[in-house]
């Protein structure tokens, strides 16, 4: 053991604290409701066949069913036929808990639609944020104009305003424009990212002025410089910004909950989790956690990929 063992200990404790909720989420998404309630079954659960309660409820035999089935069960009384039918239904509805949870996640709510909405909303937000932030950051970092420092001061000031403080005025404005329950309501308020402007400005400050002057000598206008010179050199910074932006808006529950009222076609993935909140007829933690797992998976995959590019972007730097 090295002398630094205590550092590792602290890091390990930190990792456990961060990982624990994910562990619970993934574990619950594998288990049967009984195992979740009783807190048993380890990580994967026993995966014993369970009976899907709603499936059985849907097949509760009525008088017509019993009459129709009487030919199959010759000589049996109605009560016996009914029991036999229930047993059949239970056999048909028997299912492994993991399969149950994940099929429920995709069938109880239009999860694919929600995921698509999430992609549309986060991608639109990020693209428009880049379109706005890059020229703004370039001007703030590299152009000399009257009032530049004041404008940058405003950018810094805007960083201090919490979203929730201006949520209500924003909602009222969107409502007056008749934009609630549209994609625009989900996207427009986030298109100007002061954080993005700030981050990209700080990065552009490190780009040598000579490079911009060379581009000017080569015949580029200022917008051409932004898109043809600054954008390609800023890929690592853009990836860092993308992680912040996409994670924040993919996971956002607050804002979609405010501006999307009722129209389930516009639900983003976090709103989809609401489908499984237990209303009187028991809890649906299994399917709910399966949904949560499905929702976070794209983010984790994207992050792992971006992280690799991110490091490459920093090390393969041709500016030296």
Min dist CB 216 to another protein, Å, is 5
The verdict on 279 binding another protein (CB under 8 A) reads no
CA distance 118 to 111: 10
Could you tell me the two tokens for 248?
Answer: 């924040």
Exactly one of 120, 192, 211, 248 binds another protein (CB under 8 A); which one? 211
CB of 145 to another protein, least distance (A): 13
* C-beta of residue 228 within 8 angstroms of C-beta of residue 220: yes
Contact between 46 and 34 under an 8 Å Cβ cutoff? The reply is no
Query: 167 vs 224, which CB is nearer to another protein?
Result: 224
- Give the one residue of 208, 254, 308, 311 binding another protein; rule: CB under 8 A: 208
Return the axis-axis angle of helices 194-205 and 235-250, rounded to nearest 10°. 160
250 with 190: CB under 8 angstroms?
A: no
120 near another protein, judged by CB under 8 A: no
* Distance from C-alpha of 241 to C-alpha of 136, rounded to nearest angstrom: 15
* Binding-residue pattern over the window 229 to 248 for another protein, x denoting contact by CB under 8 A: x--xx---------------
Rounded CA separation 46/43 (Å): 9
Classify residue 20 by burial, with Cβ atoms within 10 Å: 0-12, 13-18, 19+: exposed
Q: What DSSP state is assigned to residue 267?
A: -
- Please, which residue, 3 or 320, has the CB nearer to another protein? 320
129 touching another protein, by CB under 8 A = no
Interface with another protein (CB under 8 A), residue from 8, 216, 308, 309: 216
| By CB under 8 A, residue 217 contacts another protein | yes
Candidates 37, 92, 213, 312: give the one binding another protein (CB under 8 A): 213
Task: Kindly list the residues in this chain that would bind another protein in the complex (CB under 8 A).
Answer: 208, 210-211, 213-221, 224, 229, 232-233, 316-320
């Amino acid at each position: 053991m090295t002398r630094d063992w205590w550092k590792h200990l602290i890091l390990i404790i930190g990792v456990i604290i961060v990982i624990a909720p994910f562990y619970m989420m993934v574990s619950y998404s594998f288990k049967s409701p009984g195992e979740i309630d009783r807190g048993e079954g380890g990580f994967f659960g026993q995966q014993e066949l369970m009976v899907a309660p709603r499936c059985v409820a849907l097949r509760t035999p009525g008088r017509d069913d019993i009459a129709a089935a009487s030919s199959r069960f010759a000589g049996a009384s109605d009560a016996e036929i009914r029991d036999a039918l229930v047993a059949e239904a239970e056999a048909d509805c028997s299912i492994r808990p993991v399969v149950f949870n994940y099929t429920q996640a995709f069938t109880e709510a239009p999860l694919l639609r929600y995921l698509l909405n999430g992609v549309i909303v986060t991608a639109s937000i990020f693209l428009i944020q880049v379109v706005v932030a890059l020229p703004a950051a370039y001007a703030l970092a590299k152009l000399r104009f009257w009032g530049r420092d004041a404008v940058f001061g405003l950018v810094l000031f805007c960083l201090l305003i919490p979203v929730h403080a201006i949520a209500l005025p924003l909602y009222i404005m969107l409502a007056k424009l008749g934009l609630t329950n549209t994609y625009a309501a989900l996207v427009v308020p986030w298109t100007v990212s002061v954080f993005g402007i700030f981050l990209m400005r700080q990065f552009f400050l490190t780009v040598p002025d000579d490079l911009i002057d060379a581009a000017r000598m080569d015949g580029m206008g200022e917008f051409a410089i932004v898109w043809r010179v600054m954008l390609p050199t800023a890929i690592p910074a853009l990836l860092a910004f993308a992680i912040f932006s996409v994670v924040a808006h993919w996971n956002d529950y607050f804002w979609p909950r405010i501006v999307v009222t009722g129209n389930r076609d516009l639900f983003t993935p976090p709103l989809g989790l609401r489908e499984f909140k237990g209303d009187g007829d028991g809890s649906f933690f299994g399917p709910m956690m399966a949904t949560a797992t499905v929702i976070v998976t794209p983010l984790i995959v994207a992050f792992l990929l971006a992280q690799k590019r991110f490091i490459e972007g920093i090390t393969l730097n041709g500016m030296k």
